[in-house]
Amino acid sequence: MKSAFSTLGVPGMPIPDVVELAVSSGYQGVELRCHPEEPVHPGVGPGARAAVVDEFARAGVEILTVAGYARAADTGVTDEAFREEIDGLLWLARDLGAPYVRVFPGGGDAPGPEADEVAARRLGAAAEVANDFGVRILLETHDSHRTGADAERVVAAVGHPRVGVLWDVMHTWLGGESPEVTSATLGPYLGYVQVKDIASAQDTTPLALGAGVLPLAECVGTLPDDTWVCWEYEKRWYEQAAPLPELLPAGARHLADLAARPRAR
């Protein structure tokens, strides 16, 4: 298992500092939150992109994901607007050498067949560009499609190897789906896993890994040995949360301990 952390936990941190933090804390990769308020996003030019690639390459740290905010099932956004947004993310991932682009469902409070159809159609169209670029689009288990079963309905309908699922363990747990069921449901669609920890379903303020209630050991125990696991610490949304940098070394050790346990087969 290889570990990464998301820059959502260190909002606005310059890329050289992010890379140094990964190296000093024992992580092999970084999930880049790609938003205009961050150093890396689709609006940055070729020179800035090349500089980011050089920073990561010199340190031997991988850029795991371009974590975008396109919403595949959002019927309030036109197909053209979605395509423009995801194409920008795919071009960025290609230029950075990132294997994945993250998208959200965004299907509203009561998603149904229409939301599934819209998401599948849009992702299927984008898959051809992703295929040309050698990038995989991952639909995160989130908001309207928070369980593995929800996400699987969409990506199975797409039926393209360049469209898969990003398993956010908090959302599948909140959706009442066990790790064993999520893992079995996602099967070949799984790209990688986002881990985190929280106090309860009512209090989702981020905690150090292992300090909360999420079934992290059970989740990691279902994964193939070569799966990436990324710690998404949502400091950006919870100002009262402890700073992430001081927690990262212990988090890497915790993930390594979980990975060393016997896997479910």
Query: Per residue in 19-62, pLDDT tens?
Result: 999 999 999 999 999 999 999 999 999 999 999 999 999 999 99
Whether residue 217 lies inside any domain: the answer is: no
Q: Tokens 């890329």, residue? A: 15
| Residue 116 pLDDT | 95
Catalogue the E-assigned strands of 135-261.
136-140, 163-168, 190-195, 228-231
Q: Is the residue at 265 inside a domain?
A: no
| Domain assignment of residue 45, yes or no | yes
Structural domain includes residue 68: yes
pLDDT above 70 covers a percentage of the chain that reads 98
Query: Is there a contact between 188 and 159 (Cβ–Cβ < 8 Å)?
Result: no
Which CATH number do you get for residue 234? 3.20.20.150
Structural domain containing residue 200: 2-204+225-260
| Predicted local distance difference test score (pLDDT) of residue 261 | 85
Whether 264 has a pLDDT exceeding 70, the answer reads no
How many domains are contained in the chain?
1
Confidence of residue 100 (pLDDT cuts 50, 70, 90): very high
- Kindly state the percentage of the chain with pLDDT values over 90: 94
Q: Give the pLDDT score at 115.
A: 92
Answer whether residue 218 is part of any domain: no
What is the rounded average pLDDT of the residues 200-224? 96
Question: Where does the pLDDT of residue 108 fall: very low under 50, low under 70, confident under 90, or very high at 90 and above?
Answer: confident
pLDDT, mean over the chain? 96
Q: Dihedral angle at the C-alpha atoms of 246, 252, 253, 257, nearest 10 degrees?
A: 150
pLDDT band at 265 (very low <50, low <70, confident <90, very high): low
Give the residue from 230, 229, 219 showing the smallest Cα distance to 263.
219
Q: Is residue 94 part of a domain?
A: yes
Residue 214, domain member (yes or no): no
